[in-house]
Chain A
Amino acid sequence: MNAIDVREIVKKFGEFTAVKEISFAVEEGEIFGLLGPNGAGKSTLIRMLTTLLPPTGGTALVNGFDITRQADGVRRSIGVIPQAMTSDLELSVEENLIIFAKLYGVPRVKRERLIDELLQAVELTQWRAAQVKHLSGGMRRRVEIARGLVHEPKIFFLDEPTTGLDPVSRVAVWEMLRTIKHQRELTILLTTHYMDEADKLCDRIAIVDHGELKALDSPRKLKASIPGLNTLEVSFHNAPENWAATLEALPSVEGVTVQDHVYRIATFNGPATTTAILETAAHAGVPVLSLSVQSTTLDDVFVHYTGRALRDELQEASAKDSPFMLRRG
Chain B
Amino acid sequence: MGRAWAIIERELRRFRRSPVLIVISLVFPIVQLVVLGYAFGGNVKHLKVAIVDQDHGVPAVKVRELASALASGARTIDTIDYGDPGRAMEDLRDGRVNGVLTIPPEFSRRVLERNQPRVALIEDNTDTFVSATLAGTLAGMIASYNEPAHAPRIPGQATLDVVEVYPYVPYVQYLLPGTVVMSVFMMVMIGGGIIFIDDKARGLHEGYLVTPITKFELIAGFNVSGTVKAVMAGVVLMTIGSVIAGIPNAFNLVRLFRLFVVVVITSFALISLMFLLMVRVSDPLLPRAVFGVLNTLLYFPSGAVYPQQGFPAWMQVIAVVDPFTYSVHALKCLLLKNTGFGAISYDLAFLTIFGVVAMTAATMLFKRTL
Closest to A153 in B: B210
A289 at the interface (CB under 8 A from B): no
B171 at the interface (CB under 8 A from A): no
B150 at the interface (CB under 8 A from A): no
Chain A: minimal CB distance from B195 (Å): 11
A78 at the interface (CB under 8 A from B): yes
- The answer for the CA separation of A82 and B206 in the assembled complex, in Å, is 7
- Give the residues from 80 to 99 in chain A that come closer than 8 angstroms, CB to CB, to chain B: 80, 82-86, 88, 90-91, 95, 99
Partner of A86, one of B10, B17, B204, B369: B204
B216 at the interface (CB under 8 A from A): no
- The answer for the CA separation of A294 and B300 in the assembled complex, in Å, is 74
B81 at the interface (CB under 8 A from A): no
Contact mask for chain A residues 106-141; partner B; CB cutoff 8 A; 1 contact, 0 none: 000000000000000000000000010000000000
A326 at the interface (CB under 8 A from B): yes
- The answer for the CA separation of A100 and B210 in the assembled complex, in Å, is 11
A72 at the interface (CB under 8 A from B): yes
- B interface residues, tally (CB under 8 Å): 25
Q: Is the CB of B212 within 8 A of A75?
A: yes
Q: Is the CB of B212 within 8 A of A86?
A: no
Closest to A325 in B: B203
- The answer for the CA separation of A80 and B203 in the assembled complex, in Å, is 12
A82-B206, A103-B213, A105-B2 given; A326·B201 CB < 8 A: yes
Residues of B within 8 A of A324 (CB): 202
- The answer for the CA separation of A160 and B255 in the assembled complex, in Å, is 57
Partner of A50, one of B9, B13, B210: B210
Task: Mark the stretch among A51-59, A192-200, A247-255, A296-304 that contacts chain B.
Answer: A51-59
Q: Is the CB of A95 within 8 A of B13?
A: yes
Chain A: minimal CB distance from B111 (Å): 79
Residues of B within 8 A of A103 (CB): 3, 6-7, 208, 211-213
- The answer for the CA separation of A47 and B369 in the assembled complex, in Å, is 9
- The answer for the CA separation of A99 and B369 in the assembled complex, in Å, is 21
A75-B211, A84-B202, A88-B14 given; A53·B2 CB < 8 A: no
Partner of B202, one of A76, A95, A104, A326: A326
Q: Is the CB of B3 within 8 A of A102?
A: yes
A52-B369, A103-B6 given; A90·B13 CB < 8 A: yes
Q: Is the CB of A52 within 8 A of B206?
A: yes
Q: Is the CB of B207 within 8 A of A82?
A: yes
Partner of B212, one of A50, A76, A83, A90: A76
Contact mask for chain B residues 16-52; partner A; CB cutoff 8 A; 1 contact, 0 none: 0110000000000000000000000000000000000
Closest to B204 in A: A86
Chain B: minimal CB distance from A232 (Å): 44
Q: Is the CB of A102 within 8 A of B201?
A: no
Q: Is the CB of B211 within 8 A of A99?
A: no
- The answer for the CA separation of A88 and B252 in the assembled complex, in Å, is 41
- The answer for the CA separation of A327 and B369 in the assembled complex, in Å, is 14
B130 at the interface (CB under 8 A from A): no
- The answer for the CA separation of A105 and B217 in the assembled complex, in Å, is 13
Q: Is the CB of B207 within 8 A of A86?
A: yes
Residues of A within 8 A of B2 (CB): 102, 105
A99-B10, A102-B3, A103-B3 given; A88·B204 CB < 8 A: yes
Partner of B203, one of A91, A104, A131, A326: A326
Q: Is the CB of B209 within 8 A of A102?
A: no
- The answer for the CA separation of A131 and B213 in the assembled complex, in Å, is 25
B370 at the interface (CB under 8 A from A): yes
B5 at the interface (CB under 8 A from A): yes
Interface centre among A53, A88, A102, A103 (most CB of B within 10 A): A103
Q: Is the CB of B13 within 8 A of A91?
A: yes
- The answer for the CA separation of A75 and B369 in the assembled complex, in Å, is 12
Closest to B17 in A: A90
- The answer for the CA separation of A85 and B13 in the assembled complex, in Å, is 19
Q: Is the CB of A86 within 8 A of B202?
A: yes
Partner of A52, one of B5, B9, B370: B370
Given A51-B369, A105-B212, 5 new contacts (CB under 8 A): A82-B207, A95-B13, A102-B2, A102-B3, A327-B203
Residues of A within 8 A of B (CB): 47, 50-54, 72, 75-76, 78, 80, 82-86, 88, 90-91, 95, 99-100, 102-105, 131, 147, 324, 326-327
Subset of 11 A-B contacts with CB under 8 Å: A47-B370, A50-B210, A51-B209, A75-B210, A75-B212, A80-B210, A85-B203, A90-B14, A100-B211, A102-B3, A326-B203
